[in-house]
Amino acid sequence: MIVGAQWGDEGKGKVVDLLARESDIVARYNGGPNAGHTIVAGGETWKLRHMPSGILWGKECVIGAGCVVDPGVFVEELDEFERRGMSTERVRLSGNAHVIMPWHLAIDRGSERRLGKLKIGTTRRGIGPTYADKAYRLGIRLQDLFDPKILRQKIEVALAEKNVWLERVYGDTPLELEELAARYESHAQRLRPYLADTSLLVDRALRSGKDVLFEGAHGTLLDIDHGTYPFVTSSPTLSGGAATGIGIGPTRIDAVTGVAKAYVTRVGEGPFPTEIEGPEQERVRELGGEFGTVTGRERRCGWLDLVALRYAVRLNGITALALTKLDVLSSFAELPVCLRYRLPSGGETGDFPAHQSDFHHCRPVYETLPGWSEPIDEIEDFGDLPEPARRYVEFVERELEVDVTLIGTGAERERVLARAGAAAAA
């Protein structure tokens, strides 16, 4: 199991890609096209939206019931893969996954516009409204697309409400039943070969001793229950979500690798205690290429936050850490690392605040570690890293009491240092 340990964009794609090679199945259990992965392999860049990263190794790829799917985006992704000579034959979609419909996109956009300064800063991919309708039991599931009568009826019922919202609340144009029904029936034709009972498929694979890699989308602090609500996504992003999102018992997950950047980034609004003040933020952004895969937005950049990371270890039961993009920190004379938060009441804590006001108004307490200036991207062995870089990694391990088993040293697939214990933990 791989899970993002910060606010998403930790470089999970690259770690999943690496571990996917050793797995039989790679399965996604939450989120939709709001989670972009960028993988650089053989000089080619792949931007994945719906697709589990295992696709690049020709693995069986599962999109579980806990995901939401935008059929238009998915079909585009399938076409792009096939055009570039990558087979999509082994992709499997759960019929229980909910469908992102055009009204979800319109409502996501309209709602953000209406919130103005209070906006969430969503990816505008319709995620929140789709999960809301799922909970409200007004959602359309992938399996509905394959029965034209049911599909038409469901669109009609939804539109009776959604068009009122679109026109009256957001001043948007209403949607038209016939056009939508025809468009989604045509998507259904393209998607039909991929549909499968993915819970059963994963269960059978596990029973026969196969390795399944669960790929968490987004990050711990974007979790709907335990993240920095309301600045979160609308699905469970934690490791536990894999059980419900795929449809297996939690006892089937035997190791959890958390992925964290050697610093922190955040897209969208919301509190961010270690956000860097001044020109150094811009330097980290440029060096790290911190612009969104899905939206192209600038990511906010901060120093490594061990309070938040400790929280991620707790929430996910992380058994090993992958620390990505360590190379981005080469050329900083000093590296502040946040160990505690100073609370508005005056006290300090090493635990993530349970109350939002404490988190919104806390100040980071840093320990400053020495930096290094040598490039590290060509290094192949942990022992050959500059001493301050090794100390940085060991400091994180000591503070979190978790082994750092993988270290990212560059964008290319092979720019990863594996340390002792990596194979066992992963």
Does residue 13 interact with ligand IMP by CB under 6 A?
no
Which of the residues 14 through 43 are near ligand IMP (CB under 6 A)?
Answer: 34-35
End-to-end CA distance of the chain: 8
- Distance between CA atoms of residues 223 and 232, nearest Å: 6
Which of the residues 266 through 305 are near ligand IMP (CB under 6 A)?
Answer: 267-268
Largest CA distance in the chain: 66
Does residue 121 interact with ligand IMP by CB under 6 A?
yes
Which of the residues 165 through 204 are near ligand IMP (CB under 6 A)?
Answer: none
Structure token pair of residue 266: 């955040």
The residue within the footprint of ligand IMP, chosen from 28, 218, 300, 419 (CB under 6 A), is 218
Which of residues 222 and 326 has its CB atom nearest to ligand IMP in the complex? 222
Does residue 364 interact with ligand IMP by CB under 6 A?
no
Which of residues 230 and 249 has its CB atom nearest to ligand IMP in the complex? 230
| Smallest distance from ligand IMP to CB 357, Å | 20
Does residue 239 interact with ligand IMP by CB under 6 A?
no
Does residue 9 interact with ligand IMP by CB under 6 A?
yes
**Could you tell me which residues come within 8 angstroms of residue 77 by beta carbon, excluding any fewer than 6 positions away?**
48, 49, 50, 51
Which of residues 35 and 379 has its CB atom nearest to ligand IMP in the complex? 35
Strand order in the sheet with 363-370: 348-349, 334-342, 363-370
Applying CB under 6 A, the span of 6-14, 97-105, 149-157, 359-367 interacting with ligand IMP comes to: 6-14
Which of residues 271 and 371 has its CB atom nearest to ligand IMP in the complex? 271
- Distance between CA atoms of residues 370 and 406, nearest Å: 21
Coil vs helix vs strand at 62? strand
The residue within the footprint of ligand IMP, chosen from 128, 273, 408, 410 (CB under 6 A), is 128
| Smallest distance from ligand IMP to CB 378, Å | 29
What's the Cα-to-Cα distance from 378 to each of 40, 285, 383, 412, rounded to whole Å? 16, 22, 13, 11
Which of residues 105 and 335 has its CB atom nearest to ligand IMP in the complex? 105
Does residue 74 interact with ligand IMP by CB under 6 A?
no
| Smallest distance from ligand IMP to CB 136, Å | 16
3 state SS for 367-419? EEEECCCCCCCCCCCHHHCCHHHHHHHHHHHHHHCCCEEEEECCCECCCEEEC
| Smallest distance from ligand IMP to CB 182, Å | 27
The residue within the footprint of ligand IMP, chosen from 39, 127, 151, 309 (CB under 6 A), is 127
Which of residues 265 and 330 has its CB atom nearest to ligand IMP in the complex? 265
Burial of 57 (0-12, 13-18, 19+ CB in 10 A): middle
The residue within the footprint of ligand IMP, chosen from 94, 220, 233, 405 (CB under 6 A), is 233
Which of residues 134 and 419 has its CB atom nearest to ligand IMP in the complex? 134
| CB contact burial 260-275 (16+ within 10 A = b; e otherwise) | bbbbbbbbbbbebbbb
Angle at 271 between CA 270 and CA 276, to 5 degrees: 115
Applying CB under 6 A, the span of 120-128, 138-146, 378-386, 410-418 interacting with ligand IMP comes to: 120-128
Does residue 410 interact with ligand IMP by CB under 6 A?
no
| Smallest distance from ligand IMP to CB 292, Å | 7
Which of residues 111 and 319 has its CB atom nearest to ligand IMP in the complex? 111
**Could you tell me which residues come within 8 angstroms of residue 238 by beta carbon, excluding any fewer than 6 positions away?**
3, 216, 220, 223, 225, 226, 315, 316
Beta bridge partners of 27: 62, 214
Beta bridge partners of 408: 416
Annotated active-site positions, please? 9, 37
| Smallest distance from ligand IMP to CB 417, Å | 24
Does residue 310 interact with ligand IMP by CB under 6 A?
no
Does residue 12 interact with ligand IMP by CB under 6 A?
no
Angle at 377 between CA 285 and CA 299, to 5 degrees: 15
Please check whether residue 6 is in contact with residue 260, taking contact to mean a CB–CB distance below 8 angstroms: yes
Applying CB under 6 A, the span of 117-125, 193-201, 353-361, 404-412 interacting with ligand IMP comes to: 117-125
Please check whether residue 314 is in contact with residue 344, taking contact to mean a CB–CB distance below 8 angstroms: no
User: What residue ranges bind ligand IMP (CB under 6 A)?
Assistant: 7-9, 34-35, 120-123, 125, 127-128, 218, 222, 231, 233-234, 267-268
